[in-house]
């Protein structure tokens, strides 16, 4: 079959890498892809072909799918999902994996999701929603800190501001509502209490009625070691997260995931795809921080290497509403992903820096390590260069978490580019346990 992956980051490289392992995939495209994806090969499909169509160009992607008779389109990023790509594909009878626009609003609007959770008694932080900067400012100053200010819409994983004081929260709210810090995404804000505990993520395949839960993961959102510095799209992740015990996973499924699916059906928003719950594990149990409607990035890079099942088979079961609760087979070895980012990220950063240390396949020669390219491109000389904020995800698997960490950082040490920055404490919380 012919498969098209939409997107061009580290998550999409991981998806292409996993899909290329399927003997059922005879041709694999990625739009727009990146330098590393173009070097990915499968036994049956050969090299992945990158197509010069942006993820925002839904008309171009649809024409390509029709012309090439694509048998399956897999949507990586949230933007095309929230823009209604799946709806358009389904209207034309084109097979596609992902939720419809109404389902994708779970990520497209934090205000919608918080109201859905409150209405259905699903545990989450207490919150208020504002569009008026004066009312938002007054609330923050009266409430005091700490508070979390969230842009309602899509902000590339950077629309969350942690405020220690009411004054900081008020300034953050004004920056969204008055100064346009996040453009239209920040025209409405959610201001919520700060939850105490340990964060973790659980991703699950769902056909709208059945859940097949993937291994837990823990992302590292802050730029610097010890969870210091500004929020980013994610500086690394590992799987499994020890804070999600078997008992805790059961609670997440019973108290959060299953009630969420029921709530979406009652709202006439049947959800098929990957449901990603960002959680805070508090002393009172799990609470929802956010919902995403696709594979996490970089969680995807450490969860997919642990998936034994053929990804095409799983996708088809979801699309045909024939998913089984034990519908995925998981490998026991833990995985760790360390993100190498451009200097200056998550603010302004330079592009075009040559990356050294790759072999001919865009990888490094370290046992158990796979390099997932995120923001890379090929320059006029054919060299791989930086083209984004998050550049590479160095992922390692091993029989133990300490060994996986060791391998991942051995891979990091092989690669260099001007201004490279990365955290040196990925998985440290788990190792302390």
Over residues 376-392, the mean pLDDT reads 96
Q: What are phi and psi of 345, to 5 degrees?
A: -60, 140
268: number of Cβ within 10 Å: 7
The answer to whether the predicted template modeling score (pTM) of the entire model surpasses 0.75 is yes
Taking the CA atoms of residue 302, residue 304, residue 308 and residue 310 in that order, the dihedral angle to the nearest 10 degrees is: -170
* Confidence at residue 291, expressed as pLDDT on a 0 to 100 scale: 96
Which class is domain 335-432? alpha beta
CA distances from 139 to 112, 144, 149, 244 (A): 20, 8, 12, 34
- Burial class from Cβ neighbours inside 10 Å (0-12, 13-18, 19+) for residue 283 reads exposed
Q: Which residues contact 366 (CB under 8 A, 6 or more apart)?
A: 396, 407, 410, 411, 414
Q: Considering the chain, tell me which residue range(s) the CATH 3.40.50.20 domain(s) occupy.
A: 2-98
CA distances from 51 to 5, 9, 23, 31, 332 (A): 10, 14, 22, 5, 35
Q: Considering the chain, tell me which residue range(s) the CATH 3.90.600.10 domain(s) occupy.
A: 335-432
* Confidence at residue 327, expressed as pLDDT on a 0 to 100 scale: 79
CA distances from 27 to 2, 17, 313, 315, 318 (A): 5, 13, 16, 17, 21
Indicate the CATH number for domain 2-98: 3.40.50.20
pLDDT at 283 over 80: yes
**CATH homologous superfamily of domain 198-319?**
ATP-grasp fold, B domain (3.30.470.20)
Over residues 192-218, the mean pLDDT reads 96
Q: Considering the chain, tell me which residue range(s) the CATH 3.30.1490.20 domain(s) occupy.
A: 126-193
Q: Are strands 236-239 and 335-341 parallel, antiparallel or unpaired?
A: antiparallel
CATH number among 3.30.1490.20, 3.30.450.20, 3.40.630.10, 3.40.30.10, domain 126-193? 3.30.1490.20
Element (H, E) at 87: helix 85-91
Q: Which residues contact 308 (CB under 8 A, 6 or more apart)?
A: 328, 329, 330, 331
Place 347 in a pLDDT band, splitting at 50, 70 and 90: very high
Angle of CA points 259, 6, 112, to nearest 5°? 30
> What's the mean pLDDT when you consider all of the chain?
96
* Confidence at residue 326, expressed as pLDDT on a 0 to 100 scale: 75
Over residues 194-219, the mean pLDDT reads 96
Give me 284's structure tokens.
């009172």
Q: Considering the chain, tell me which residue range(s) the CATH 3.30.470.20 domain(s) occupy.
A: 198-319
Dist CA 114 CA 172 (whole Å): 19
pLDDT at 156 over 90: no
pLDDT at 370 over 90: yes
* Confidence at residue 431, expressed as pLDDT on a 0 to 100 scale: 93
């Amino acid at each position: 079959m012919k498969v098209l992956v939409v997107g061009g980051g580290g998550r999409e490289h991981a998806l292409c890498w996993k899909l290329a392992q399927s003997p059922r995939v005879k041709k694999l495209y990625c739009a727009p892809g990146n330098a590393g994806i173009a070097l990915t090969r499968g036994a049956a499909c050969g090299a992945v072909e990158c197509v010069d169509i942006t993820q925002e160009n839904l008309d171009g992607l649809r024409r390509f799918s029709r012309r090439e008779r694509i048998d399956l389109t897999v949507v990586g990023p949230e933007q095309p999902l929230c823009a209604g790509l799946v709806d358009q594909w389904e209207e034309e009878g084109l097979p596609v994996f992902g939720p419809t626009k109404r389902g994708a609003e779970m990520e497209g609007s934090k205000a919608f999701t918080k109201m859905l959770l409150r209405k259905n008694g699903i545990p989450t932080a207490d919150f208020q929603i504002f569009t008026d900067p004066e009312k938002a400012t007054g609330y923050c100053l009266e409430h005091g800190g700490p508070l979390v200010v969230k842009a309602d819409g899509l902000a590339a994983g950077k629309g969350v501001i942690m405020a220690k004081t009411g004054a900081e929260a008020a300034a953050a709210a004004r920056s969204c509502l008055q100064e346009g810090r996040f453009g239209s995404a920040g025209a409405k804000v959610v201001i919520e209490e700060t939850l105490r505990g340990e964060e973790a993520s659980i991703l699950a395949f769902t056909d709208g009625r059945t859940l097949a839960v993937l291994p837990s993961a823990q992302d590292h959102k802050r730029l610097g070691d010890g969870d210091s510095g500004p929020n980013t799209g994610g500086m690394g992740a590992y799987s499994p997260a020890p804070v999600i015990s078997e008992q805790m996973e059961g609670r997440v499924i019973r108290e959060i995931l299953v009630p969420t699916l029921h709530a979406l059906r009652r709202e006439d928003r049947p959800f098929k795809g990957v449901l990603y719950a960002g959680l805070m594990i508090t002393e009172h149990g799990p609470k929802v921080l956010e919902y995403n409607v696709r594979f996490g990035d970089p969680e995807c890079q450490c969860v997919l290497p642990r998936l034994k099942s053929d990804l095409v088979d799983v996708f088809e079961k979801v699309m045909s509403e024939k998913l089984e609760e034990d519908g995925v087979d998981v490998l026991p070895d833990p995985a760790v992903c360390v993100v190498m980012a451009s200097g200056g990220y998550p603010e302004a950063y330079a592009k075009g820096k040559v990356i050294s240390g790759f072999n001919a396949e865009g990888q490094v020669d370290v046992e158990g390590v796979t390099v997932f390219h995120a923001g890379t491109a090929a320059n006029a000389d054919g060299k791989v260069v930086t083209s984004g904020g998050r550049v590479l995800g160095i992922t390692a698997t091993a029989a133990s978490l300490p060994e996986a960490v060791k391998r991942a950082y051995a891979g990091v040490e092989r690669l260099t580019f001007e201004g490279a920055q990365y955290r040196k404490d990925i998985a440290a919380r788990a190792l302390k346990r």
